[in-house]
Chains A and B, each alone.
Chain A
């Protein structure tokens, strides 16, 4: 009996202290970590079409089309199929593909979630966080010397 009363006292304590753990989404936008991996952002200006991202992608989410002179034509990424492993960002030697913190995306059909390079370029930052800053320290292993300021917008 004492145990039951102790249980009841515990829950009543929670009821009376009035604190809540959940937040009112979307009014209160949740904080995401700087390292959080969301929808990709692609910069055609930086891309050298080396196809390493396409190669490393574990489930063929990235599809690149090039013409016969090896100039890039299309860069398609299925953000609904992507498993957000960040390997594409990790292998990219020029920071052309990045995972933003943006996790809010919708589509009426799954085809809507296939983004081409323009759509990928238009993906906004989440709360103006530049993900590269938090991830910069260890990128040296992959890209060697960077090429100065990176501007995606």
Chain B
């Protein structure tokens, strides 16, 4: 087997070059498992990040992790390159406990806007120069910052709005205004969950949108920090993006934890993982397609039902494999829980049947959607997302690929068995809602190719080498203060996890980089000046899952 897909490497930025670039501004080194780390002063953030982007090409601010130590606060900017995500660098910005103020990175990377709002909200670091320093996940009236060490959980956490608001603040309603303020959601048929979009309209034209999220915030990061590495964390990733991309999410945790504890996964298990993950991707894209059609058609009509029906077949296959329809909990550190179900031939035949029927179904979707003229006038040239904007907002996954950004972690930062298989990364240059639909439909076909090859491999695998789990100790205690950030290509994009170990069997800090969160943040750029129906369609084409946005 050979590597058929060669990631497009660019001139590698070596560590020496990085050191030279950052120079005196680096006050120390704090290397992570995945990347060299430079500690800088809170005043140099914009400077260093701008240099890294412009001089060294680190144009993807993948994640911002904020955390509090006993003696300091810390913001870590995890940076990557869109052309080659294996080149990473971490910029660590410590601030003192009594004055946790750090310079905002927002002027350099727009995506830092939501990152820093979240860091402020949960940990309590102030970002100087941030244009919109509000809470984002928790309600405005929340007291304290729940991930900070001195947070008092026994104290009342939310006060009523009437207690909170300033009574002498003037009423900001402008009676002369020509615009209309409209709350889209939290209970609205097209928000795909509990999302609240504050919209300003001029007639039917959208002037401004402000997504209000956090209705589904379930403290997933805290829950993972309270679970043991070995078993208790794995069930939770299923619940981030809960619409059938469970295995993809589990892989995000499996990858980061296996890197952290240095666990080798048997090849056979990797093949099964790859197959399961791609099945999940098809299911997830089917749902994305169905709900997008729902948004454009406006009723529970045929396309939605057909997409659901096809997804149902995958659910059955996954149920046979994993024992559950959505919340799989199938991956284990070092492998998977089970081999294929007995009788194996039946399972393989069943999966092959699905793959054989898939092209006909895809044709049907093409007949129903992409060739339909009304669908075309609704989707072509609406919800435009230029590639530069997409990069600035940290968009990944089908959303980025629909804007022509050739970025797919399965190929660019290989894990699992992907690099030994033959498949293509799908991109479309339309930058509109239509391209995003096309990308998803074509990715379904690519995933089918991957599954086909995995099935071939599984069938031929010698019986005595079918090892599904590596030998992993029942308790994992990684070395204290090991830090690692790793990402996988989830159904919606780059799903990353940062873990800092503290010497116990539970993570000291567990941070989730959700692709939906950043894909949603770009909505305001896509819909300004468009009509309400386009707002709905654009939101649908972003394919967000609020469970993953809010975590």
For the complex, give the distance between the alpha carbons of A9 and B367 in Å: 9
> Per-residue 0/1 for A78-115: is the Cβ within 8 Å of any B Cβ (1 yes, 0 no)?
00000111110011000000000000000000000000
Interface residues of A, dominant DSSP: helix
Distance of B92 from chain A, by nearest CB (Å): 31
Contact A7 B323 (CB under 8 A): no
Which of these, A86, A137, A141, contacts B342 with CB under 8 Å? A137
Contact: A37 with B372, CB < 8 Å?
A: no
Instruction: Report if A71 contacts B (CB, 8 A).
Output: no
Total of A-B residue pairs, C-beta within 8 Å:
87
* B376 interfacial contact with A, CB 8 Å: yes
Interface flag for B329 (CB, 8 Å): yes
Cross-chain contact of A35 among B233, B234, B341 (Cβ < 8 A)? B341
Bound CA span A7–B374, Å: 11
Q: Are B323 and A35 in contact (CB under 8 A)?
A: yes
Q: Which of B302, B323, B324, B371 has the most CB of A within 10 A?
A: B323
A84 touches B327 (CB 8 A): yes
A58-B373 contact given A86-B329, A138-B339, A141-B469, CB 8 Å threshold? no
Check A69 for interface membership: any CB of B closer than 8 A.
no
Let me know if A11 is at the binding interface, CB within 8 A: yes
**Candidate in A4, A21, A33, A36 with the most chain B CB atoms within 10 angstroms:** A33
Q: Contacts A11-B368, A35-B322, A37-B324; is A21 near B309 (CB within 8 Å)?
A: yes
Q: How far is the CA of A134 from the CA of B323 in the complex (A)?
A: 10
Report the nearest B residue to A37, measured CB to CB. B323
A3 touches B342 (CB 8 A): no
List CB contacts (< 8 Å) of A43-88 with chain B: 56, 58, 83-87
In the complex, are the beta carbons of B232 and A33 less than 8 A apart?
no
Interface flag for A150 (CB, 8 Å): no
Q: Which residues on B sit within 8 Å (CB–CB) of A37?
A: 323-324
- Give the Cβ gap from B238 to chain A, nearest Cβ, in Å: 9
Interface readout for B336-351 with A: 1 if CB under 8 Å, 0 if not? 0111011000000000
Which chain B residue has the least Cβ–Cβ distance from A30?
Answer: B316
Asked whether B231 is an interface residue with its Cβ less than 8 Å from the other chain, the reply is: yes
B356 within 8 A of A: no
Tell whether B227 is near chain A: CB-to-CB under 8 Å.
yes
The interface residues of chain B lying within 8 Å CB-to-CB of A124 are none
Can you list 18 contacts pairing A with B, beta carbon distance less than 8 Å? A2-B373, A4-B373, A4-B374, A7-B368, A7-B371, A7-B372, A9-B367, A10-B364, A10-B367, A14-B302, A33-B316, A33-B320, A35-B320, A35-B338, A36-B319, A37-B323, A84-B327, A86-B337
